[in-house]
């Protein structure tokens, strides 16, 4: 849910008018995530490191800053897998797209940090550079824009976060129900069984596409559910919850699929009626 100046973003809203801030929108997209149980604006530490033009490698820089200023994981930042391959000795040029093999066994999935805007502002300020001050002002501007569209936008963000949490809450129980059903039949649940179940439900929600296919089609990196809108998440949760019941009733895959198609169509019809 990147905050962009364009109206083309599904969930975005304007965050800048002047050219300097507009440039930062592309360089430092601000998104929404759950930190410390609350919806918060966040920014990638790797992208901030690149934008600041820090001479030190990313890993050393962020770890030193966290230790020096006593930032707390789960409060000020979250540790995440970077969508791009990298190594533990990434230089500034490598951060901008030059990927060389590591001396420690080649490219590997690298770590990134989702920073709260408060942490981002402080990191910009402590660099004591014009770029750092400009980035700090950009983050302040993004916060101001969010307040301008509140409470409507804030309510939308809370609802989407709530829908995302609910969607996550039903996926694991569905997998557990499937595993127990297989055990009762004297069968072993393999990885593809979970994938088949998940893909079947995703296709009903995402117009015939699996979550992976949908993400690729929409140029989405990371967990697809994090980029789904509230209606998609609620639809997904409803079908996963219904599927748990059907699994526990002993219905086989084809019976469940046929019933879930009906339930999905009924759910969509009710949504359309409610919106008219």
Rounded mean pLDDT of 224-231?
83
Q: Which three-class secondary structure state does DSSP give residue 30?
A: coil
Examine the domain organization and report whether 204 and 166 are in the same domain: yes
* Mean pLDDT, residues 219-232: 83
Say what percent of the chain tops pLDDT 90: 43
| 120 in the same domain as 66 | yes
Instruction: Decide if 131 is inside a domain.
Output: yes
For residue 177, what pLDDT is reported? 93
Of the pLDDT bands very low, low, confident and very high (cuts 50, 70, 90), residue 195 is: very high
Peptide bond into 215 cis (omega under 30): no
Is the pLDDT at 160 greater than 80? The verdict is no
Residue 7 lies inside a defined structural domain of this protein: no
Q: Are β-strands 77-86 and 31-35 bridged in parallel, bridged antiparallel, or unpaired?
A: unpaired
Q: What angle do CA 123, 129, 132 make, to 5 degrees?
A: 40
Closest alpha carbon to 172 in 250, 117, 244:
244
The tens digit of pLDDT for each residue in 259-269 reads: 999 999 999 99
Q: Looking at the structure, do residues 141 and 61 belong to the same domain, yes or no?
A: yes
Domain boundary among 119, 149, 179: 149
- The pLDDT tens digits for 59-72 are 999 999 999 999 99
Both tokens assigned to 144: 């101001």
Tokens for 7, please give them.
Answer: 């109206």
Tell me the residue range of the domain where 249 lies.
151-274
Burial readout 47-75 (b: 16 or more C-beta within 10 A, e: otherwise):
bbbbbbebeebbbebbeebbeeeebeeee
In a domain, 211, yes or no: yes
User: What is d(CA 64, CA 76) in angstroms, rounded to the nearest whole number?
Assistant: 15
Domain termination site, one of 94, 129, 149: 149
Question: Is the pLDDT confidence value at 8 over 60?
Answer: no
In terms of domains, do 164 and 73 share one?
no
- pLDDT by residue (tens digit) across 118-140? 999 999 999 888 788 888 888 88
pLDDT digits (tens, 9 = 90+) for 74-105: 999 999 887 654 443 333 333 333 333 344 44
| 125 and 240 together in one domain | no
Tokens of 244: 């748990």
Q: Please name the residues in contact with 210: beta carbons below 8 A apart, sequence gap of 6 or more.
A: 198, 199, 202, 203
Residue with tokens 């008219």: 276
The answer, yes or no, to whether residue 106 has pLDDT greater than 60, is no
Identity of the highest mean pLDDT range in 7-21, 37-51, 86-100: 37-51
Write down the residue that tokens 């989702």 correspond to: 114
pLDDT at 10: 35
CA–CA distances in Å: residue 163 to residues 38, 69, 187, 197: 13, 34, 33, 20
- 186 and 122 belong to one structural domain: no
């Amino acid at each position: 849910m990147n905050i962009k100046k364009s109206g083309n973003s599904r969930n975005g809203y304007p965050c800048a008018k002047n050219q300097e801030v507009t440039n930062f929108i592309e360089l430092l997209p601000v998104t929404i995530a759950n930190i410390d149980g609350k919806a918060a604006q966040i920014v990638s530490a790797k992208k901030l490191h690149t934008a600041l033009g820090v001479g030190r490698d990313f890993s050393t820089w962020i770890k030193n800053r966290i230790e020096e200023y006593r930032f707390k994981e789960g409060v000020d930042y979250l540790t995440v897998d970077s969508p791009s391959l990298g190594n533990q000795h990434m230089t500034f040029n490598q951060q901008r797209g030059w990927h060389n093999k590591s001396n420690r066994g080649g490219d590997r999935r690298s770590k990134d940090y989702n920073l709260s805007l408060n942490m981002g502002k402080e990191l910009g300020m402590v660099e004591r550079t014009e770029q750092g001050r400009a980035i700090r002002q950009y983050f302040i501007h993004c916060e101001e824009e969010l307040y301008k569209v509140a409470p409507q936008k804030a309510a939308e963000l809370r609802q989407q976060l709530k829908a995302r949490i609910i969607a996550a809450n039903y996926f694991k129980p569905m997998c557990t129900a499937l595993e127990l059903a297989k055990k009762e039949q004297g069968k072993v649940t393999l990885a593809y069984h979970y994938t088949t179940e998940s893909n079947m439900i995703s296709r009903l929600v995402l117009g015939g596409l699996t979550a992976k296919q949908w993400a690729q089609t929409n140029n989405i990196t990371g967990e697809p559910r994090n980029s789904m809108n509230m209606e998609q998440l609620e639809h997904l949760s409803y079908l996963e919850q219904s599927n748990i019941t059907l699994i526990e009733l002993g219905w086989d895959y084809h019976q469940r699929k046929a019933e879930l198609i009906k339930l999905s169509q009924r759910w969509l019809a009710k949504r359309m009626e409610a919106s008219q």
